[in-house]
Amino acid sequence: MTDSGHLQMATGSVGPLHVTHIDAPGYSAGPCDHCSATGPPLAEDDDLQHQHHQYHNHQHQHHHLLELAGGDSTRLVGVQVALILAYSAIILLGVVGNALVIYVVFRFKALRTVTNFFIANLAVSDLFMSALCLPFTLVHTLYGEWKFGRALCFALPCAQAAAVHVSTITLNVIALDRHRSVVYHRETKMAKGTCAAVIAATWAAGALLASPLAVFREYGTLDLTPGTAIEVCAEEWPGGGADATVYSVAMLLVQYGLPLAVNSVAYARIWRTLRRHASPGGRSARHRRRRKTTKMLVAVVAAFAVAWLPFHAFQLAVDIDSSVLDMRDFKLLFTVFHVVAMCSTFVNPILYGWMNNRYRDAFRAVCGKCELRVRRGPRTAAARGPTRREGEGPAALATCADLKATHV
């Protein structure tokens, strides 16, 4: 990794990532991790020229610097159409699905539990990724340069990485809260004020961990050939490539390695406790509910791990061997792995609806299915009253029995 060599896809890369290095200066990689691709116009042309020469010295002979017009597979019409369709589908599913999760948690009183508030926070971070990362990543990938100006060059990469950090931190918080409740039999639920403070802390921690991406950054214009220039938003580390590599590896551990370790240990102990305390004559309703919730949360963590594994493995390969940057289809591979990673933003709502009856009934209520059942059934005097419309409030909940439960 080198200063200019990190022209990552500042554009929107989603996420959690650690520093993404991009070979060619405007060749942006993709996800937001550190995503940067261009930078505020540097103060003087001499600085830009120095950056240009430094880039060539560090990256050996970047004979594919002009792949923007030739060997870059992401410039092919068919590939670009596929990327547009893939990113558009992920954005749509991520925005709609996560917005629905947030809505039902605050709409239905039965879903307002501590675990569900944390799940809503996870949905907010995924919603941010869908809205803040993917559209910019797509544009940056298609154009091969930073198109969003100086201000967003500093703000976007930091915001994108913060959203990913919040997502991984929240997964840990959920696992540890369930661990406290199940393994240590702490029946006292976390106070809502404490829950709100924990959620605020996840965003503060996410912003702090992502802040270097807003500090160590430059924006300017980079001349590729006489008459050909691109806007670049790039990371600029005091110690050059060494500092960039340290930060990249550290983020790999913080965003992926550590969260997986914490979640794996927590859920392994939770599962062992649930199995050990199962009553011989059959499990109680509460025990069955806990098992179902644990299965759902484990599935969420597994989906996160599987979706992000290719992307993080690829970035680790770049950190270990910079020659990976010289691969002919480096940008295409990076983009494909980023698309796979971004699938994690819409998978969670699907898992909630599939594996949890209360979420499923809440989704149905919002989509009108419960209202439909109310209209078709006999109307009671209460339902005809002036203060309650069909399919709303208690009337709708009465047709969705699971929503009356007090815990998820």
- The CATH number of the domain where 288 resides is what? 1.20.1070.10
The pLDDT value recorded for residue 327 is 82
In a domain, 132, yes or no: yes
- For residue range 250-304, list pLDDT tens digits in order: 989 999 999 999 999 999 999 888 888 665 555 566 677 778 888 888 999 999 9
Mean pLDDT on 153-180: 92
The pLDDT value recorded for residue 92 is 95
- For residue range 84-125, list pLDDT tens digits in order: 999 999 999 999 999 999 999 999 988 998 989 999 999 999
Q: What is the pTM of this model?
A: 0.74
The pLDDT value recorded for residue 271 is 87
Count of domains observed in the chain: 1
What pairs with residue 34 in β-bridges? 19
How far apart, in whole angstroms, are the C-alpha atoms of residue 143 and residue 331? 13
In a domain, 301, yes or no: yes
In a domain, 260, yes or no: yes
- For residue range 330-355, list pLDDT tens digits in order: 888 999 999 999 999 999 999 888 88
Highest-scoring range by mean pLDDT, 11-20, 242-251, 320-329 = 242-251
In a domain, 402, yes or no: no
What separation in angstroms does the CA of 376 have from each of 136, 358, 361, 371, 390?
Answer: 46, 22, 17, 9, 10
Kindly give, in sequence order, each residue whose CB lies less than 8 Å from that of residue 350, ignoring residues fewer than 6 positions away: 97
In a domain, 193, yes or no: yes
The pLDDT value recorded for residue 401 is 45
Give the range of the structural domain holding residue 354, as residue numbers without chain letter: 72-142+162-210+249-367
In a domain, 96, yes or no: yes
CA dihedral (153, 156, 161, 165) in degrees, to 10, reads 150
The pLDDT value recorded for residue 318 is 86
In a domain, 331, yes or no: yes
- For 10-14, 128-132, 199-203, 277-281, which range has the lowest pLDDT when averaged over its residues? 10-14
In a domain, 239, yes or no: no
Find out whether 28 and 140 touch, Cβ atoms under 8 Å: yes
Average predicted confidence (pLDDT) for the chain: 75
